[in-house]
């Protein structure tokens, strides 16, 4: 039986700088690690500690795993100093993945903020692998400034995918930016609630669409309000809940939100599941 506590030695094969403090690492584990979009892993930097991250690579690729990581503290700073050829430990995956069967035949809205696009990238790549199963995919992404946009080189390829659109915004006006300005909720203003008529003419049919959201807690709060206001059903809005975690296995209680263990029942929870909590984010 697989020992879920055992970190698998994984060699850093590639490091790509996304922004000044965010890098995408490609790891090659000594044995394949399979995961579903939405699940997370615990990454150990030897001698420093471990922290939870959601892979940003395609779940259908198991011999390597990419993770996009922002430097914020001890583990992530130590990782940022590591080089190609160095070794880390990866254990997992943990939590529940998205139920992609439930996404079939529907419009999918992806809303990311900052490094929050990273966990959503594995979902986006999984959706692209089966693009004909979904009606339309709309990716709406907000970053602080042009220099804070992750996957800048990949976004044009995403836009070329069938029935897919990508919209970007930055928080404040910037001399290098001619696109939309404002926090990510400005990209949700065109969403429409339809009950009848020709839904194909509209940007998204919010009455039946799925929304997947990841970003800082304040963003989740305002995006949640905006989506409910636009007619999304609470059970169709999935939030990535990035709580502090320890065991990752539903044992230590570090990650609890009411009756939910975010590490086990999440990390993705629907707006319906968290509706009763005063400040779930």
Ligand X SMILES: Cc1cc2nc3c(=O)[nH]c(=O)nc-3n(C[C@H](O)[C@H](O)[C@H](O)COP(=O)(O)OP(=O)(O)OC[C@H]3O[C@@H](n4cnc5c(N)ncnc54)[C@H](O)[C@@H]3O)c2cc1C
The tokens describing 149, both together, are 């946009």
The reply to whether 147 sits near ligand FES by the rule CB under 6 A is no
The item of ligand FES, ligand X, none sharing an interface with residue 51, based on CB under 5 to 8 Å by kind, is ligand X
Q: Which is nearer to ligand FES, 62 or 246 (CB)?
A: 246
In the complex, what is the shortest distance from the CB of residue 243 to ligand FES, in angstroms, rounded to a whole number? 8
The tokens describing 90, both together, are 């990866």
The reply to whether 252 sits near ligand FES by the rule CB under 6 A is yes
Binding characters for ligand FES, 210-249, by CB under 6 A (x = yes): -----------------------------------xxxx-
The item of ligand FES, ligand X, none sharing an interface with residue 248, based on CB under 5 to 8 Å by kind, is ligand FES
Question: Distance between alpha carbon 127 and the CA centroid of its chain, in Å?
Answer: 13
The item of ligand X, ligand FES, none sharing an interface with residue 252, based on CB under 5 to 8 Å by kind, is ligand FES
Say if strands 237-240 and 65-70 run parallel, antiparallel, or are unpaired.
unpaired
The reply to whether 49 sits near ligand FES by the rule CB under 6 A is no
User: Among candidates 55, 45, 50, 114, which has minimal Cα distance to 249?
Assistant: 50
The two counts, helices (H) then strands (E), for the chain are: 6, 15
- Strand ranges (DSSP E) for the chain? 8-19, 22-29, 40-45, 49-53, 65-70, 87-94, 107-113, 136-143, 164-170, 180-181, 210-214, 237-240, 256-257, 260-261, 268-270
In the complex, what is the shortest distance from the CB of residue 273 to ligand FES, in angstroms, rounded to a whole number? 16
Structure letter (DSSP) for residue 237 = E
In the complex, what is the shortest distance from the CB of residue 6 to ligand FES, in angstroms, rounded to a whole number? 17
Residue from the set 35, 98, 238, 261 that interacts with ligand FES by CB under 6 A: 261
Where do contacts with ligand FES occur on this chain (CB under 6 A)?
245-248, 250-255, 261, 263
């Amino acid at each position: 039986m697989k020992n879920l506590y055992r970190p698998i030695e994984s060699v850093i094969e590639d490091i790509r700088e996304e922004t000044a403090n965010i890098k995408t690492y490609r790891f090659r584990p000594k044995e394949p690690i399979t995961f579903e979009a939405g699940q997370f892993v615990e990454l150990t930097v030897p001698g420093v500690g471990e922290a939870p991250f959601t892979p940003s690579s395609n779940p259908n690729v198991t011999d390597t795993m990419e993770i996009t990581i922002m430097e914020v503290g001890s583990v992530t700073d130590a990782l940022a100093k590591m080089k190609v050829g160095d070794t880390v430990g990866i254990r997992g995956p943990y939590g529940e993945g998205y139920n992609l069967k439930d996404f079939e035949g529907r419009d999918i809205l992806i809303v990311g903020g900052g490094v929050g696009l990273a966990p959503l990238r594995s979902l986006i790549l999984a959706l692209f692998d089966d693009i004909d199963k979904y009606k339309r995919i709309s990716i709406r992404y907000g970053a602080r400034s042009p220099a804070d946009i992750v996957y800048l080189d990949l976004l044009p390829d995403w836009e070329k995918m069938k029935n897919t659109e990508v919209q970007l915004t930055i928080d404040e006006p910037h001399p290098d930016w001619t696109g939309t300005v404002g926090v990510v909720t400005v990209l949700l203003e065109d969403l429409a609630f339809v009950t009848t008529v020709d839904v194909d003419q509209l940007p998204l049919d919010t009455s039946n669409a799925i929304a997947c959201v990841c970003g800082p807690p304040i963003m989740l709060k305002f995006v949640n309000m905006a989506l409910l206001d636009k007619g999304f059903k609470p059970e169709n809005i999935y939030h990535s809940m990035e709580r502090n975690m320890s065991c990752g296995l539903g044992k230590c209680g570090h990650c609890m939100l009411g009756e939910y263990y975010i590490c086990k029942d999440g990390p993705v929870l629907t707006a319906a599941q968290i509706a009763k909590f005063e400040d779930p984010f």
